[in-house]
Structure 1
């Protein structure tokens, strides 16, 4: 892919876009995309897999024609089981070769629905129902895993499933270990199909359905919007995913000989698109780094050895991954194969970027995207000027605009240079709306621009800077405080591994800023010392946090992003608990999500204190977050 244009400035992107995307001769579907690459690069490795994360372990590897054959067999197996275009197959899997077969084979036969394996059983059932899935692919019983137990507990609630198909990880082990596990476990549960046996019985050279996939056909559903409340599914068309891979590769410039390491989960668009379809469109090799990816401590401890041994040229992560890798010595390893690494999914503190680059010598690029945009919308140009703290320039064919909205979210005007507004996107990579029509109210502004909910500004050279997420803003007496400002200051403290700022309820100001701190292993710092450091490095007086709370670990989503709802709930709990402590030291407060109010405090009174119910309501009346009092009778 060396004939790809080089992007250095906004002008280079405009030059690329002078040729309409419709004239780029892109494949109509993800299946055709992989077909084309298999024809162009028949000898190139496409997909490789490490089971344990050890530097010297054997590697499972497929060339592009072999990968295409597995995908075709999988599509044919699903078709034989009754899957048709417009119907879905759900998958509940770790990062395995069979996960890729399921994703692209599922898209060739129907629609693939990705489910986070870390969700609880009831939420998994909701996603299967919401996606109207007819098939489910999951993991066979295997030591140290609980996926089958979750599915088994749900089987009676899923009568619409025509089949449950299990991937047996024992098949990935050496013969002796495989046989021992299977002997101990016994046969697969009744009525459950073996994935490998199922696809082996199907042809690998053509789609038995004879389907001609169109660019507008829905390819996938990806769950977005957190892990609480009713499911919110974002449908992607084949055209969305192909356009995303093409646009992304104009930035990454993957080609034969490149190796992209995948450590992010394959139920998330970053793992599927950045270190998946984008690599496939360029003819690069995808290295699946263990079923658990970055959650595998063995992989992390040997990370730089694996980069060296497999000559990895690119990997993608989130800020918490880079913070963890800072603790792993990289000295003495040959990292010359690495072109750069990409950070997305959450803003990367500038100080963390500086520390990482100084330690490793590696160039770290920040990008930005979201599920509704199929994956990426912006990135710093690898060949151009990189502005740490910025999410870079819009990717080719991805339109990005900063719009000023009123208090009701209605469009007022375009933002001026460096004026903060709502970041909105549109173009060939942007979805057409959530699967559930009820979720689409207010998501479009100024016509067909999708309102991401993020706030940002564009500088005079076209670089885009996030200034926070509208729902993450701390609003102190009508004054908007960007939590990133607080987090950046705390990351400059040598003992701080991660910092996350949220608002705590206050009777007078509405909210006051507080910060949660996770210290580096072996480091020490008092809360008073951290507050003093914050005061010295935050120039906006209103943004100086009122509390610095040390916790063992910042809560994370399954992708590794900071999960701020959990911190906001904890801050409410602490404030309410303190306000009620003098009434009775045994009063217990918990804060839960509520579909109507967003968050609700539940106050549990101890036995014999029902008479305090009225006093509790009076004591908490000045706070914005509502409460329910539970008094024992």
Structure 2
């Protein structure tokens, strides 16, 4: 398995097959990691090429947007200063720093600096205040890092509200995007912050983040901390769309291990576009720690990533401008790019694209590859496994319809399980079962102990909740997500079967299938689609087409809704929880209307109860509504807003 370089300077050789992984594993993984904590791993990379560009940042996706460049020496200095600033604010081993930030260079400094001082706890700033405050209270974060207002104060006002609601927070670090703006806009932003809201709590100290860093030494950790591999380095929340988010803990070893294995898998040099948010494990690892460990150049396209001004319309031009060699995205991004004209952009530098976070429809992959002229490498991972568990090898065979070979030194098993979710025996090659992972990347558990019930198949083996099989060559095939299966009268229906079929229709751009509650069968399949420009079929026409396209009669949707936009999560995945609530609301409203009640209804999330049906009706109708809707598994709330 020799490692050489071709005439373009790209590393060749490396891991191509399962046999290469087996050979690679003959040396213990402990001997392959330069360091077993994230700070030392970063420092070693920065020291090896201090003058090389680590980050480029643009505020907008426009072709002439000014860029800001940070080299590896500066990256190390800023992360060290951030760690020292957090230490000065009282952050020590086991103490969390909550990050409520968009994608800025300071986000990397805060994320990695918090890990060097204590624990980084990045939080999706688009969540509602109740959810953010719940995460901060659960982690006991003593510092909060937030962004001052740029165009509006919504995110800043959330940060102020969180500081007031969360008694553990003692310091509010303020990150300003003003340095990346033209002089006139900078002055407006500074003036707007002068009049912005402030925490009401007198014991919360507000500190300018950049100013705090400038006051600290950049060449050493003043804490003199000895960072252990088993120390918790980060909290990543997962879920939370319909209930209290679970907080997954990562150790330093979890993240250092994944960064080191990715360096072995992905060719260098690499200039990677960063469009996924850094509060998500994919953004933080693939375009963060792993990229820096590999000595890559990371191009941060706007604070909002792929959703930023001008990014998607100018995507191919951004590839040309920065000579990008790769990028990472989710299926919805690739669906959009498949229909985006290149308009003469030179994208010859682009070598590969990575897809994860959700199953990739075969039709989306085909359309993207035809448009971009490069292979799309699908991988698989989860927050609880520090981001990556398998990947189609960029230097080997990309096998369509699979999520690739397992990460070296991490095992993947497919298991038959009993009724309590414990593994009974391994499945044979080609036999579908529950996917489990075991290795140094597997997290120690969730922060809240009650969330750890039933998550282990066997000691050390994490139950991913996904279904699939391994083929004879070691490639992993996903066949469904246990919690996303549509269960119709005890019959399991894979949503991907419906979605793949609908995407064959020439008018359909995106498709998502979910279970609609049914009093008799439990669930019925329904589908939501968006259309390509220039097409306008009626829902009935699509439903008729589905009857011939969907290969299984029980999986044919009972209803298809055409949407102007597909609801997406903050990382661009289809927001299935929102679609399930929409489907439930449709059914419950229809029942109330057919019964002739005067009730109005909304189905929505509740942080404690999950999905709730909020009802308003005359007091005399309450008993009747309870009788009509009591057959469905949703709490009824007659007091909430509709």
Quote the Cα distance in structure 1 between the aligned partners of 2:217 and 2:446: 35
Indicate the residue corresponding to 1:230 in structure 2: 244
Indicate the residue corresponding to 1:333 in structure 2: 345
List runs of 5+ in structure 1 lacking aligned partners.
Answer: none
Provide closer, same or farther for how the CA distance between residues 176 and 395 of structure 1 changes in structure 2, counting only shifts above 3 A. Answer: same
Indicate the residue corresponding to 2:104 in structure 1: 96
Indicate if the aligned counterparts of 2:60 and 2:309 stay in contact, CA closer than 8 A. no
Indicate the residue corresponding to 1:382 in structure 2: 394
Indicate the residue corresponding to 2:310 in structure 1: 298
- Determine whether 1:107 maps to 2:121: no
Quote the Cα distance in structure 2 between the aligned partners of 1:193 and 1:602: 42
Deviation of the 1:544 alpha carbon: 1.1
Indicate the residue corresponding to 1:628 in structure 2: 636
TM-score for the superposition, normalised by structure 1: 0.95
- Determine whether 1:61 maps to 2:75: no
Once the two structures are superposed, what CA deviation does each residue of 1:213-234 show, in whole Å capped at 9, x if it has no partner? 1211111111112333223111
Quote the Cα distance in structure 1 between the aligned partners of 2:621 and 2:210: 62
Deviation of the 1:428 alpha carbon: 0.5
Quote the Cα distance in structure 1 between the aligned partners of 2:160 and 2:579: 33
Correspondence list, 1:239-388, <5 A? 239-255=253-269, 258-388=270-400
Stretch of structure 1 that moved more, 467-476 or 508-517 = 508-517
Deviation of the 1:562 alpha carbon: 1.1
Quote the Cα distance in structure 1 between the aligned partners of 2:70 and 2:577: 41
Quote the Cα distance in structure 2 between the aligned partners of 1:631 and 1:116: 29
TM-score for the superposition, normalised by structure 2: 0.93
Indicate the residue corresponding to 2:232 in structure 1: 218
Deviation of the 1:398 alpha carbon: 2.0
Q: CA RMSD in A?
A: 2.1
Provide closer, same or farther for how the CA distance between residues 145 and 303 of structure 1 changes in structure 2, counting only shifts above 3 A. Answer: farther
Deviation of the 1:328 alpha carbon: 2.0
Indicate the residue corresponding to 1:138 in structure 2: 146
Indicate the residue corresponding to 1:87 in structure 2: 95
Stretch of structure 1 that moved more, 587-596 or 177-186 = 587-596
Provide closer, same or farther for how the CA distance between residues 417 and 615 of structure 1 changes in structure 2, counting only shifts above 3 A. Answer: same
Quote the Cα distance in structure 1 between the aligned partners of 2:608 and 2:102: 34
Correspondence list, 1:6-25, <5 A? 6-25=14-33
Deviation of the 1:429 alpha carbon: 0.5
Quote the Cα distance in structure 2 between the aligned partners of 1:567 and 1:25: 43
Indicate the residue corresponding to 2:8 in structure 1: none
Quote the Cα distance in structure 2 between the aligned partners of 1:244 and 1:278: 7
Indicate if the aligned counterparts of 2:517 and 2:524 stay in contact, CA closer than 8 A. yes
Indicate if the aligned counterparts of 2:614 and 2:639 stay in contact, CA closer than 8 A. no
Quote the Cα distance in structure 1 between the aligned partners of 2:311 and 2:561: 31
SS for the counterpart of 2:276 is coil
Indicate the residue corresponding to 1:408 in structure 2: 420
SS for the counterpart of 2:561 is strand
Provide closer, same or farther for how the CA distance between residues 604 and 180 of structure 1 changes in structure 2, counting only shifts above 3 A. Answer: closer
Quote the Cα distance in structure 1 between the aligned partners of 2:310 and 2:629: 48
Quote the Cα distance in structure 2 between the aligned partners of 1:386 and 1:145: 46
Provide closer, same or farther for how the CA distance between residues 361 and 331 of structure 1 changes in structure 2, counting only shifts above 3 A. Answer: farther
Provide closer, same or farther for how the CA distance between residues 76 and 438 of structure 1 changes in structure 2, counting only shifts above 3 A. Answer: same
Quote the Cα distance in structure 1 between the aligned partners of 2:182 and 2:637: 58
Indicate the residue corresponding to 1:43 in structure 2: 51
> How many pairs does the alignment contain?
626
Provide closer, same or farther for how the CA distance between residues 228 and 624 of structure 1 changes in structure 2, counting only shifts above 3 A. Answer: closer
- Residue of structure 2 aligned with 1:151, choices 159, 170, 179: 159
Deviation of the 1:44 alpha carbon: 1.1
Quote the Cα distance in structure 1 between the aligned partners of 2:306 and 2:637: 42
Provide closer, same or farther for how the CA distance between residues 237 and 4 of structure 1 changes in structure 2, counting only shifts above 3 A. Answer: farther
List runs of 5+ in structure 2 lacking aligned partners.
Answer: 5-10, 200-204
Stretch of structure 1 that moved more, 384-393 or 336-345 = 384-393
Indicate the residue corresponding to 1:525 in structure 2: 537
Quote the Cα distance in structure 1 between the aligned partners of 2:73 and 2:492: 54
Quote the Cα distance in structure 2 between the aligned partners of 1:343 and 1:126: 31
Indicate if the aligned counterparts of 1:600 and 1:625 stay in contact, CA closer than 8 A. no
Once the two structures are superposed, what CA deviation does each residue of 1:113-148 show, in whole Å capped at 9, x if it has no partner? 111000111211111111111111101132235211
- Residue of structure 2 aligned with 1:552, choices 541, 557, 564: 564
SS for the counterpart of 1:299 is coil
Deviation of the 1:90 alpha carbon: 0.9
Once the two structures are superposed, what CA deviation does each residue of 1:570-604 show, in whole Å capped at 9, x if it has no partner? 21221222222132264323224468875443443
Deviation of the 1:367 alpha carbon: 0.6
Indicate the residue corresponding to 1:570 in structure 2: 582
Quote the Cα distance in structure 1 between the aligned partners of 2:114 and 2:312: 31
Provide closer, same or farther for how the CA distance between residues 281 and 477 of structure 1 changes in structure 2, counting only shifts above 3 A. Answer: same
Stretch of structure 1 that moved more, 148-157 or 376-385 = 148-157
Once the two structures are superposed, what CA deviation does each residue of 1:438-471 show, in whole Å capped at 9, x if it has no partner? 1101101122110011111112222111111111
Provide closer, same or farther for how the CA distance between residues 145 and 251 of structure 1 changes in structure 2, counting only shifts above 3 A. Answer: farther
Indicate the residue corresponding to 2:456 in structure 1: 444
Indicate the residue corresponding to 1:194 in structure 2: 208
SS for the counterpart of 1:521 is coil
Quote the Cα distance in structure 2 between the aligned partners of 1:383 and 1:497: 31
Indicate if the aligned counterparts of 2:272 and 2:324 stay in contact, CA closer than 8 A. yes
Stretch of structure 1 that moved more, 99-108 or 515-524 = 515-524
Correspondence list, 1:407-556, <5 A? 407-556=419-568
Provide closer, same or farther for how the CA distance between residues 507 and 156 of structure 1 changes in structure 2, counting only shifts above 3 A. Answer: closer
